Amino acid sequence: MGGKWRKAKVSLGLNLCVVGPRTLEDSPPSLEAPERLSDAALLSPDKWSTVSSQPSTPTPSSRGLRLPKSGSKSSKTCSICLTKMKQGGGHAIFTAECSHSFHFHCIVSNVKHGNQSCPVCRAKWKEIPVQGPSLDPSPGRASIGPVGWPQNDALMNMVRRLPPTRDINRRHIIPLYQSTEPAVFNDDESLHYQPVFSNRSLCNKNAAYHDSVKTIEIKTYPEVSAVPRSKSCNNFTVLVHLKAPAAITGKNTSQNHASLPQFSETARAPADLVTVLDVSGSMAGTKLALLKRAMGFVIQNLGSNDRLSVIAFSSTARRLFPLRRMSDSGRQQALQAVNSLVANGGTNIAEGLRKGAKILEDRRDKNPVASIILLSDGQDTYTVSGSGSNQLQPNYQLLLPSSIHGGHNTGSLIPVHAFGFGVDHDASSMHSISEISGGTFSFIETEAVIQDAFAQCIGGLLSVVVQKLQVGVDCVHTKTHLVSLKAGNYPSRVMVDGRTGFIDVGDLYADEERDFLISLYVPTEPSSSETSLIKVRCIFKDPLTKEMMTLESDEVRIERPEIAKQVAVAIEVDRQHNRLHAAEAMAQARVAAEQGDLAAAVSILENCRRVLSETVSAKSHDRLCIALNAELKEMQERMASRHVYEASGRAYILSGLSSHSWQRATARGDSTDGSSLVQAYQTPSMVEMLTRSQAMLLGSPSAQRLKPR
């Protein structure tokens, strides 16, 4: 009987978890009867606690979150805020016709966002609680409840009878989309910057930041240090290595944080973030619950100068709330809105992106950093159709509004960081969306890593220290000219005379690194002992001061001995050759796999591994070369059969290509897998945010006390 009841609860769409919030009135949950975790509770990371000594996130084999045993004491607890409901306790209690009870102020918040069903059993209600217009709490009098929702003891229980529904199977009607939206999204909250720096004055902090930006590293490495005078080179390689400055941090030395790495208080550029979330029918149940928890983490970790807006899309799309600063009140509204999400309908990615881009286009004020985060577990069923091996490639650009694909000027594009969730998402479309817009594509293979994937992404977005970076390469010697610029996805061009080239890099996160290989023609040098090849300059904007800056490197020179001597290839250059070779092999293998020839795809990857094993880097046991070999092997295994490739191989390869092409970290499969290249491009800020996410998922008491960034 217990097993059947468990299945029945799953079919009713309960979002349950063994990780439960703990209140002052509740005793610690027992391992035998873990408490129920509602959608609202998933949004309250400050209240998570450990109910087991083992990690409580679901595993791929669990197929969801653990369900509580029947007879749980949660029957006397409000399933929304998870605090005790006591008669005469000063709060009105609403009992629905399905017999479940809630605090009146809690259920009113759900209903206000369009929900007309029980949050526990999903039963459709005939009567719903509403808040009368005359009972709105006056400004400044509402207190903050357990999940950060406004409460007011003067609220009275008002019930409105719903009209009868003729068709109880109208599953594609989403109550969230019933209210109206403005024609122009210019209702964004005004920017009133409030310094968040501590231990130093704002003036000193900005001065330190300004000085740090000027120390952006530019290093150059010729492939060999010497070339005989009598020899010319048609494709001589010079590596240009850039490293962004570190974030200016003030460490919090509070004893409350002793058990976790110190989290930073950073002088950084504030961000405008729009999340575009898939709430189609396939997201029902555990997926939606974990998405809400991940969004709760994002909301809690945005700073008071950052602004957030959320778009939910299924058959159509809806803006849940305007672009708002994540102050205390802003977080309350964001948590309420995300908690109101229900899953139903189809998948209209284009409409979701259109509204997400419109929010950023129509805003009156602009934070220095702006990005869109897109998550979907399905294929767009409205604008483009999925592609098979015998079909022409769909035009995925149709999914993007003109403001996103209107050119390759990295200074004006709105980057879309796309997250493909599960085995049924369209990895090709998500990868194309991110590639066209200048964002990254991450593959979330299992439900448990949604929050970690989001954490890594926002860890980068909340640490932008360089914007509109353009790298210029100028030839010094009169007979030297550029052959090519190998820059991955970054737009690059060589001028007609071949003497100058440019790479448009755009934004850099704190401590982020970029490597570009410059190929050039080196002439003979009959009368000189050295040749000056190129100079590199970086032009960029400081996102805090808005000041444009220019940095120049020293000239790159090589020796020109009269007699040839043995010179070793620079391992720094060899390492980047290996990275580009591996990325090229991945792209070729993907083409072969899409054409149905998995054997050829596996052979391409195997040949690449063999070539890498003979390089200087491999023989020196270079860490990057070892990681590349492990990643190529993983891709081979994900091409074992057509089924495996369709389920995960395609998405894994595309997220790898995205990472290498932009030299930026993406989530791939199990994002904690240290044997792959997943961690190769992670910055300290990303690692810091990942650590915070994992600590909260494990219910660390110290993590509960950490304040938002």
On whether the CB atoms of residues 146 and 106 are closer than 8 A, the answer is: no
Q: Nearest CA to 371 among 426, 312, 306?
A: 306
Three-state secondary-structure class, residue 252: coil
Q: Is the pLDDT assigned to residue 401 strictly greater than 80?
A: yes
Quote the strand ranges of 170-302, DSSP E.
Answer: 217-222, 233-243, 248-251, 264-267, 271-278
Both structure tokens of 604: 């391409």
On whether the CB atoms of residues 441 and 658 are closer than 8 A, the answer is: yes
Q: What is the largest CA-CA distance in the chain?
A: 98
Q: Between these two residues, 105 and 704, which has the higher pLDDT value? A: 105
- What is the phi/psi pair of residue 294, to 5°? -65, -40
At 81 the pLDDT is: 59
Task: Name the amino acid, one letter, at 435.
Answer: E
At 216 the pLDDT is: 85
Residues 269-384+395-462, CATH architecture:
3-Layer(aba) Sandwich (3.40)
pLDDT mean over 52-73: 36
Task: Name the amino acid, one letter, at 123.
Answer: A
At 105 the pLDDT is: 72
- What is the phi/psi pair of residue 29, to 5°? -65, 145
Segment holding 14, helix H or strand E: none
At 79 the pLDDT is: 61
Q: What share of the chain is helix, strand, coil (3-state, %, to 5)?
A: 35, 20, 45
Lowest-pLDDT range of 125-129, 296-300, 362-366, 375-379: 125-129
User: What stretches of 19-68 show up as alpha helix (H) in DSSP?
Assistant: 39-42
On whether the CB atoms of residues 246 and 685 are closer than 8 A, the answer is: no
Q: How many residues does the chain have?
A: 709
Q: How many CA atoms lie within 13 A of 304 on its CB side?
A: 11
For CA atoms 641, 642, 643, 649, the dihedral sign is positive
Q: Is the pLDDT assigned to residue 580 strictly greater than 50?
A: yes
At 35 the pLDDT is: 36
Contacts of 430 (CB under 8 A, 6+ apart): 374, 376, 418, 419, 420, 441, 654
Task: Name the amino acid, one letter, at 461.
Answer: L
Three-state secondary-structure class, residue 9: helix
- What is the phi/psi pair of residue 673, to 5°? -70, 105
pLDDT mean over 653-657: 96
Segment holding 111, helix H or strand E: helix 104-112
At 96 the pLDDT is: 81
Q: Which residue has the tokens 């149709």?
A: 398
Distance in Å from the first CA to the final CA of the chain:
48
Q: Is the pLDDT assigned to residue 369 strictly greater than 70?
A: yes
pLDDT tens per residue, range 524-552:
998 899 999 999 999 999 998 899 999 99
In which band, very low, low, confident or very high, does the pLDDT at 382 lie, cut at 50, 70 and 90? confident
- Could you tell me what percent of the chain has a pLDDT over 90? 55
Q: Is the pLDDT assigned to residue 11 strictly greater than 80?
A: no
Residue 418: other Cβ atoms inside 10 A: 32
Q: Is the pLDDT assigned to residue 696 strictly greater than 90?
A: no
Q: Is the pLDDT assigned to residue 423 strictly greater than 70?
A: yes
DSSP 179-192: S---SS---PPPP-
At 433 the pLDDT is: 94
Local structure of residue 536 (DSSP, 8 states): E
Strand partners, 203: none
At 659 the pLDDT is: 95
In which band, very low, low, confident or very high, does the pLDDT at 677 lie, cut at 50, 70 and 90? very low
Q: Between these two residues, 103 and 574, which has the higher pLDDT value? A: 574
Task: Name the amino acid, one letter, at 98.
Answer: C
Q: Is the pLDDT assigned to residue 37 strictly greater than 60?
A: no
Q: Between these two residues, 161 and 190, which has the higher pLDDT value? A: 190
Rounded to a whole number of angstroms, the CA Rg of the chain reads 28
Average pLDDT, the chain: 77
Q: Nearest CA to 185 among 48, 362, 340?
A: 362
- Could you tell me what percent of the chain has a pLDDT over 70? 68
Q: Nearest CA to 129 among 82, 99, 96?
A: 96
At 260 the pLDDT is: 37
Q: Is the pLDDT assigned to residue 278 strictly greater than 50?
A: yes
At 2 the pLDDT is: 52
Segment holding 294, helix H or strand E: helix 286-301
At 127 the pLDDT is: 76
Both structure tokens of 359: 């929010």
- What is the phi/psi pair of residue 472, to 5°? -110, 135
Q: Is the pLDDT assigned to residue 129 strictly greater than 70?
A: yes
- What is the phi/psi pair of residue 281, to 5°? -55, -30
pLDDT tens per residue, range 165-205:
333 333 333 344 445 789 999 999 998 765 444 333 333 43
On whether the CB atoms of residues 497 and 567 are closer than 8 A, the answer is: no
At 376 the pLDDT is: 94
Task: Output the CATH code of domain 217-246+465-567.
Answer: 2.60.40.740
pLDDT mean over 463-471: 95
Contacts of 381 (CB under 8 A, 6+ apart): 346, 347, 348
Lowest-pLDDT range of 134-143, 483-492, 598-607, 657-666: 134-143
| For the chain, domain boundaries | 217-246+465-567, 269-384+395-462, 571-676
User: What stretches of 325-426 show up as alpha helix (H) in DSSP?
Assistant: 328-339, 349-362, 402-405
Q: Is the pLDDT assigned to residue 160 strictly greater than 90?
A: no
d(CA 462, CA 686): 9
At 670 the pLDDT is: 59
Segment holding 404, helix H or strand E: helix 402-405
Phi-psi label, residue 422: left if phi above 0, alpha if psi -120 to 50, beta otherwise:
left
Contacts of 79 (CB under 8 A, 6+ apart): 36, 38, 100, 102, 119, 120
